[in-house]
Amino acid sequence: MAFAMIVVGIMVKAYIFPLHLWQPDVYTYAPSTISSMMASVHVKVMFYILLRMFYSVFTIEFVRHYIGLDILICWVAAIAILAGSIWAIKQRNLKRMLAYSSVSQMGYILLGLGLSPLSPWGLVGAAAHILNHAVGKGCLFMCAGAIGQQED
């Protein structure tokens, strides 16, 4: 029970689908500097905590054998990838579109985490995408802020 509560709490802070409902509004209405920092640092720290939970606090064998969470994580990640991408396409506001795109990208990272018990390459891919998303999405939110300044 403790494992489930901790993981759900971390997933809320990491805006993992379907617990992401607060995130698009925060990113849309926050100043671009804050949105950039949240997209770059905040979520990545949550994924680091999730990785430490899976590999240090509880073992990956516990997650796989006793809970069967690795398959559930893969399915949630696949749905997050699709839903975040579809919602991002439907947006008219640039920062909101980037926020929903981040939901989709968190799905890719979660998929790598879910595949890591099967292959170490899943963990490598998740770690690489964490760095890639931190740099790329931070720059995109800064660009959105610059575009917003030009419009004012």
Q: What is the pLDDT of residues 15-53, one digit of tens each?
A: 777 777 777 777 778 787 777 777 778 778 888 888 787
Expressed in angstroms, the distance from the first to the final Cα of the chain is 50
Write the CB contacts of 74 (distance below 8 Å, at least 6 apart in sequence).
111, 114, 115
**pLDDT value for 90:** 92
Query: Rounded to an integer, what distance in angstroms lies between the CA atom of residue 59 and that of residue 78?
Result: 24
**pLDDT value for 67:** 65
Q: Which residues of the chain have pLDDT under 50?
A: none
Q: The whole model's pTM is what?
A: 0.81
Query: Rounded to an integer, what distance in angstroms lies between the CA atom of residue 50 and that of residue 10?
Result: 7
**pLDDT value for 82:** 93
Rg of the chain over all Cα atoms, to the nearest angstrom: 16
Query: Rounded to an integer, what distance in angstroms lies between the CA atom of residue 62 and that of residue 60?
Result: 5
- Tokens encoding 20: 């992401």
**pLDDT value for 66:** 67
